[in-house]
Structure 1
Amino acid sequence: MRRTLGEVADFYGGASLPEGEAFSNQSEGYLLLRVSDLNLPQNSVYVTKSFQWSAKPGQKSATAPEGSLVIPKRGGAIGTNKKRITTRDCILDPNLMAIHPHKELDVRFLYHWFRTFDLLDISSGTTVPQLNKQDLHPLQLPIPSVEEQCRIAEVLDKADELRAKRRRAIALLDELAQSIFHQIFGNGKNAPDWPVEALSVHLTESSRNGLSPSTGGSIEEKVLTLSAITGAAFDETAFKVSTFTEHPPKSKRVNHRDLLVCRGNGNLHFVGLGFFPRRDMPDTVFPDTMIAARINYNALDREYLEYAWRTKFVRTQIESGARTTNGTFKINQKVLNSLRIPIPPIDIQKDFGHRIRSLEAAKETQKKHLAKLDELFVSLQSRAFRGKL
């Protein structure tokens, strides 16, 4: 049996929040919820805390009862697809709304059903996305017995828990890598007998900017985007196809010996971020928004340099050297070349690199397992809401 969401749930729109106090696990009263509260690690599924709390309720239309599903309803926050379950009465700000199921609908079942689609796909509004009762009310969902809903939710909960454990294992491997780095090298500048030298001393050739695509060109090439080097690791899938009037030279193509560095961005924290590609990519060009620095591997190990590059010691130099025009922060080759890097003995660097590569191999194994679990979860979702689980 299928019913519309409006037939089996009540809707609560957010409004102005009352004046609150810092939440410190008070057992009574109301959590004051903003979109930012949904980002708290403790609130990944169930809302158990918030930054602020109130002993008194807010306006009736803004108070969501315990056991409601909370989602963003306005602006870019809709695209984050956050869906959370309240564990106590909450007061919602204007950017949130709540859906409280009737007795014939289990909230965990509702939560998993909502996870099968993108909130932007059902939003209204042109320039600013909006979600309201009119968008949600006509949505149809299957309504098996409450007992069957609970069984389905439990199966999906367990499958999701397995995925969460894999993600945590990957995060722990990242933490272990950082721990090993700090154990050996401290903050990147902790041994007085290790020289601290300009990066330019250890380049095999001059650093160089990438190449911008050409307007009206007819030669198609893959071009890296900045997201290839501004995440947690080098992402070779982050590229677009652009055109050039001439075939880009070999010096503008992705090479595993080049540290590729973000040359400019509106966010200062992205400027200067960099990684080595994991392999040569002769069919891919790096853009003018990146600088390539070809490293002398006899003095610098790539894994060591990538981790040293993210230390406060190096980041402070990058951000101090960045210049801004029209809201864009930039560094140039001169700044890059002058960055001072601690140079431990190469055998210590290589030992660290060996450990990191072992951890990376273990992480890749975990990622493959996670991918299989993701596939399984999607399959279970599909079967669950077609009545075939």
Structure 2
Amino acid sequence: MKSKWDIVNLGKYISQQSIRNRGLENIEVYSVTNSSGFTKSTDYFNKEVFSKNLSNYKLVTREQFAYNPSRINVGSIACLFDANFALVSPLYVIFEVDKDNLFPEYLLRYLKSNYGNVQIRNNTQGSVRDSLKYEGLEKIQIPLPPLDDQIRIAAVLTRAEKLIAKRKESIKALDELLKSTFLEMFGDPVRNEKGWDKKEFDSVVKDFRNGQSPVSTGNIKGKVYTLSAITGGIFKGNEYKISTFESINDNSIVKNDDFLICRGNGNINLVGRSVVVRDISDKIIFPDTMICANIDITKINKKFIELMWKLSFVRKQIENFSRTTNGTYKINQQSLKSIIIIVPPVNLQNQFAAIVEKVEVLKAKYTQSLTDLENLYGSLSQRAFKGELDLSKVPLEKENQVIELYDEGMAAATMTSELSASKK
């Protein structure tokens, strides 16, 4: 990249750390995720997945960095800001920075930026799975502004990140509103205190269809959805790639109102995730990592089943049915058919669906706002690292209100009134 700042090798400003927990100190074990940074392993995995013997685990202290060498290319790197100590897997790489010349929060944002990701990928090694060793990390080139400007850049980007986080919270609040409305109208599906019919999922499905995956030897090009199109809670119709097929099976073409279900993933939390397909006009294929259910709308409302599918009542069944092979969790069609659901009268389901439609209008607006904020963050980040931001008015000791496109107070105020209106 071209920048007005000096471009330097990161290795000059960092040093590797590898202190083991030989004293068996009672310190929390953490994982590093691409979305949340340092996260307690018991919270992330909902169970204890680490070794009972922690003597070989690595110690991280405040403002030190840790990353998973095989997942840093998807953003799994973090700096410890919220605790004095943490233990991480022996596989992780730990390092600290020369704080006289490099501000930790500045470096973290650079390494997680598009520019930083290119540098990371250029320095990974591995024939089967790319991995960034410490020697590769040292070769990464970074723009190095004066320390004061690094602090200002971090403040600008932190401000944008907080706005993004608030918008995500607004979207999450809408999801929680729908779940609470569901429970208010239909009760807890596990206890089923309202006595609704309980049936197998198969009884409300006309038919199931399997997907079709691309082949490298094919000569027919086609669009195929990626799992990200259906595992994020809403249908993302633009999440597809161009691939080749030997032939295209009509049954693998996605249709509006199809109920797409994730069949397999390395993360059990994503197995069984589903969405109802909406507003597509293009010819797009779903892969064999998905299963499609054609819902019988005379028996169940699609918005009703889509929401119920997200409840722990169904999630627990999916996870119990899932089987793992070579690190990939899968659920088959037969298991999906046997999942137990509640089936209230369709007219009551339709009333719930009307509420869902109102909330979806708000969610679409908030989602677009989130996209705009993320684009804004990308632009700010790019300009900051190229030295194109005017930092002269950014206070050194505190964040400045540098983004005037969005008002934080607006989110909370509008949210309260709009949520109330959506339930009427």
Partner of 1:222 in structure 2? 223
Q: RCO (CA 8 Å, sep 6+): is it higher in 1 or 2?
A: 2
Partner of 2:406 in structure 1? none
Partner of 1:70 in structure 2? 65
1:73-222 matches, within 5 Å, as 74-77=69-72, 79-86=74-81, 90=85, 94=90, 95-116=92-113, 117-118=116-117, 120-121=120-121, 123-127=123-127, 129-132=131-134, 135-136=137-138, 139-144=141-146, 146-189=147-190, 190-203=192-205, 205-211=206-212, 217-222=218-223
Partner of 1:48 in structure 2? none
Going from structure 1 to structure 2, the CA distance change for 1:63 and 1:12 (only over 3 Å counts) comes to farther
CA distance in 2 between partners of 1:336 and 1:356 (Å): 24
Could you list the runs of 5+ residues in structure 1 that have no partner in the other structure?
24-31, 45-50, 52-57
CA distance in 1 between partners of 2:263 and 2:364 (Å): 29
Structure 1 range deviating more: 221-230 or 344-353? 221-230
Give 1:14's aligned amino acid: S
Matched residue SS, 1:126? coil
Matched residue SS, 1:300? coil
The answer as to whether partners of 1:33 and 1:90 remain within 8 angstroms in 2 is no
Partner of 2:13 in structure 1? 9
Deviation at 1:10, TM superposition (A): 4.1
Partner of 2:416 in structure 1? none
Give 2:78's aligned amino acid: K
Going from structure 1 to structure 2, the CA distance change for 1:4 and 1:193 (only over 3 Å counts) comes to closer
Matched residue SS, 1:385? helix
Partner of 1:382 in structure 2? 382
Of residues 22, 29, 32 in structure 2, which corresponds to 1:18? 22
C-alpha deviations, 1:125-153, integer Å up to 9, x for none?
Answer: 32451332564267343232x44333333
C-alpha deviations, 1:133-177, integer Å up to 9, x for none?
Answer: 564267343232x44333333222222221221122222222222
C-alpha deviations, 1:318-359, integer Å up to 9, x for none?
Answer: 556667778764423x54444443111222212221222222
* TM-score normalised by length of structure 1: 0.75
* TM-score normalised by length of structure 2: 0.70
Matched residue SS, 2:283? strand
Q: Percent identity?
A: 28
Going from structure 1 to structure 2, the CA distance change for 1:91 and 1:188 (only over 3 Å counts) comes to closer
Matched residue SS, 2:182? helix
The answer as to whether partners of 1:255 and 1:282 remain within 8 angstroms in 2 is no
The answer as to whether partners of 1:275 and 1:306 remain within 8 angstroms in 2 is yes
Give 1:13's aligned amino acid: Q
The answer as to whether partners of 1:265 and 1:328 remain within 8 angstroms in 2 is yes
CA distance in 2 between partners of 1:281 and 1:123 (Å): 41
Could you list the runs of 5+ residues in structure 2 that have no partner in the other structure?
40-47, 49-54, 390-424
Going from structure 1 to structure 2, the CA distance change for 1:2 and 1:65 (only over 3 Å counts) comes to farther
Deviation at 1:283, TM superposition (A): 0.7
Going from structure 1 to structure 2, the CA distance change for 1:264 and 1:4 (only over 3 Å counts) comes to closer
Structure 1 range deviating more: 157-166 or 182-191? 182-191
RMSD of aligned Cα (Å) = 3.8
1:326-341 matches, within 5 Å, as 329-332=330-333, 334-341=334-341
Partner of 1:343 in structure 2? 343
Deviation at 1:294, TM superposition (A): 2.0
Deviation at 1:364, TM superposition (A): 1.8
CA distance in 2 between partners of 1:86 and 1:379 (Å): 26
Going from structure 1 to structure 2, the CA distance change for 1:133 and 1:86 (only over 3 Å counts) comes to farther
1:292-311 matches, within 5 Å, as 292-311=292-311
Deviation at 1:224, TM superposition (A): 2.9
Alignment length, in residue pairs?
361
The answer as to whether partners of 2:198 and 2:341 remain within 8 angstroms in 1 is yes
Give 1:83's aligned amino acid: A
Q: Which has the larger radius of gyration?
A: 1
Deviation at 1:63, TM superposition (A): 6.8
